[in-house]
Amino acid sequence: MTTYDVVVVGAGAAGLSAALVLTRARRSVAVVDSGQPRNAPAAHSHGYLTRDGVPPGELLELGRMEVTGYGGEFFSGEVTAIHRGFTVDLADGTKLKARSVVVATGLRDELPDVPGVAERWGKEVIACPYCHGYEFADRPIGVLHDAHHALLLRQWSSDIVFFAASADIPERAKLAARGIRIIETGVRGLVIEGDRLVGVELVDGRCVPTEAVFLRPKFVPRDEVLKPLGYDPELTEAFGRTNVPGLWVAGNVGNPMANLISSAGEGSSTAAMVNLALVQADVEQAMSFSHEQERDARDMRHRDDTSDLRV
């Protein structure tokens, strides 16, 4: 079984960026790609310098081509286990050995149980104003349950409706000062006509016109395979160094607030530190080997001297 310097688990922006830095550092790298990027529902990626507006799949394909060009290898599939040592198990039975592992598996967005939200997720139902707010500028925007989100989105549009989860709204005065409408009637679901969102239906039957709905999903890191190793996210240090020696994290799996370009940046900086750790291990191994050679040479000289005395 080939032992790679690094196995990168996850082929999103963070994983590919890490793999690119490591392959350019002439490390042997295997990348495991589940083919389930978090931003797959979105039609375009935004805020990524020189690649603004590029479809997510196209951006990732460009990254794969670059990593492959420097000798990186790709394996398709799900990682079912990571063993200390390290051995990475894939669902199809493939086993990859590595000196270090970088996990960049991202996170899952758990959406509120509101009819229509899941169907339009990544289209008109979105989370990040910096990623997609500009595309809905000066248009009617609804915000579900998060007043801080509503205040932030006022930067993009003057037509903001805040659908409150309850009558207890500590930010009520701030919302009113910014001209944000507040609706305390419960939400029944989203109104979709053809292939687009046209409004939010309330439990009393009214429909509030809106062309986009922003919300904050629950962020759930995809770190299940790390827990058996004793991984504790609270103990992760700078640049993604975890409490498990040789195990690193990058991107949303360790930082839920990282956007696309931030995740790529984390992958790059983590990769540099991984390479540094491998360099230090290489030096220690070389010094140990050198000491063994010196010891063997001394033992041989001693045996020769003893042989001369017997003669």
The domain spanning residue 41 has which CATH number? 3.50.50.60
CA-CA distance, 257 to 253, in Å (whole number)? 10
118 and 104 fall within a common domain:
no
Confirm whether 201 is domain-assigned: yes
140 and 92 fall within a common domain:
no
Confirm whether 307 is domain-assigned: no
Answer yes or no: pTM beyond 0.85: yes
196 and 272 fall within a common domain:
no
pLDDT at 294: 67
117 and 101 fall within a common domain:
no
191 and 234 fall within a common domain:
no
93 and 228 fall within a common domain:
yes
Confirm whether 246 is domain-assigned: yes
47 and 188 fall within a common domain:
no
32 and 87 fall within a common domain:
yes
pLDDT at 303: 66
For the chain, how many structural domains are there in total?
Answer: 2
Domain that holds residue 59: 3-109+218-289
CA-CA distance, 194 to 240, in Å (whole number)? 44
Confirm whether 37 is domain-assigned: yes
Phi/psi of residue 299, nearest 5 degrees: -60, -40
Residues (pLDDT < 50) of the chain are: none
158 and 133 fall within a common domain:
yes
Confirm whether 66 is domain-assigned: yes
99 and 180 fall within a common domain:
no
What tens digit of pLDDT does each residue of 72-104 get? 999 999 999 999 999 999 999 999 999 999 999
225 and 210 fall within a common domain:
no
Confirm whether 178 is domain-assigned: yes
CA-CA distance, 48 to 259, in Å (whole number)? 9
Confirm whether 310 is domain-assigned: no
